[in-house]
Amino acid sequence: MDNNTRRQVLNLLKTSRGQIDGIIKMVEDDRYCVDISKQILAVQALLKKANLKILDQHIKNCVRQAFTEGHGEEKVNEIMELIDKYAK
């Protein structure tokens, strides 16, 4: 993963962590359920964005290299397994 993408992913994950801490406090403080749910959706969006950045780098680097080395089918299968989990 290139340094720029690594930095972006780390920032997204750290922001998510901070938001999760905030959500925990909201639950502890017995805040309004809809407000808690909205914050959970916001964290899910951040995690999804981080995951897509990681997968983008994987496809552009690892998968591309695997095809040039003659074992791309294995990488395609890995990606398909992830897509299957992602779609559920």
User: What domains appear along the chain, each with residue ranges and CATH number?
Assistant: 3-87 (1.20.58.1000)
Q: Using 50, 70 and 90 to split pLDDT, how confident is the model at 1?
A: confident
**Residue 60 per-residue DSSP state:** I
Q: Residue 87's pLDDT is what?
A: 82
Q: 28-45 burial by CB neighbour count: b if 16+ within 10 A, else e?
A: eeeeeeeebeebeeebee
Q: Of 78, 75, 49, 77, which Cα lies nearest the Cα of 64?
A: 75
pLDDT digit string, tens, across residues 25-81: 999 999 999 999 999 999 999 999 999 999 999 989 988 899 999 889 889 999 999
**Helical spans, DSSP H, in 1-88:** 3-28, 33-58, 64-68, 72-87
